[in-house]
Amino acid sequence: MLFRLNLAGAVVVDIPMRAVYADETSNLKISRIFFAFLGKNLRNFAKRIFYRYFLRDLNLGSLELVVGTLLLAFGTIFGATQWITAVAAEQAASAGTVMLSGLPVLAGIQFLIGFFSFDLTSVPRIPLIRLLGTERKAEVSAPRQVATG
């Protein structure tokens, strides 16, 4: 439900309330549901990113996510292959090779940090009911012009 509300742009508010239990004991086993819960949350996270940043809107966050992921993947894969090659040849990697793998990793991390910052600041803060209530009040209080003729 929280996933769907987030996609709709709704503001969700936590309302504190005390849990009152009688003689019941919980039969919840964390070890049994942990991986299913984690998998479903990761699936919903990927769907939210796809829906919000690629399907419904293409914005700066979309660009930062794609460029950051590509740079980080290239730097990591290139660096790992060069490191394995250098270890197999028992030679030190050149400074250029290290920089060619390190700079894309750093730039990719920076782009991903920018994406997460964009994602966190795009969270709606005003409940939809307040927005709708304000519009309705404005419609009611505005004087209507009546055509005379």
With vertex at residue 129, the alpha carbon angle to CA 5 and CA 15, rounded to the nearest 5 degrees, is 65
For the segment 88-147, what is each residue's pLDDT rounded down to a tens digit? 999 988 889 999 999 999 999 999 999 999 988 887 777 766 656 555 554 444 455 545
Query: Of 141, 118, 6, which is closest to residue 62 (Cα–Cα)?
Result: 118
For the segment 53-68, what is each residue's pLDDT rounded down to a tens digit? 899 888 899 999 999 9
Q: Is the pTM of this model over 0.75?
A: no
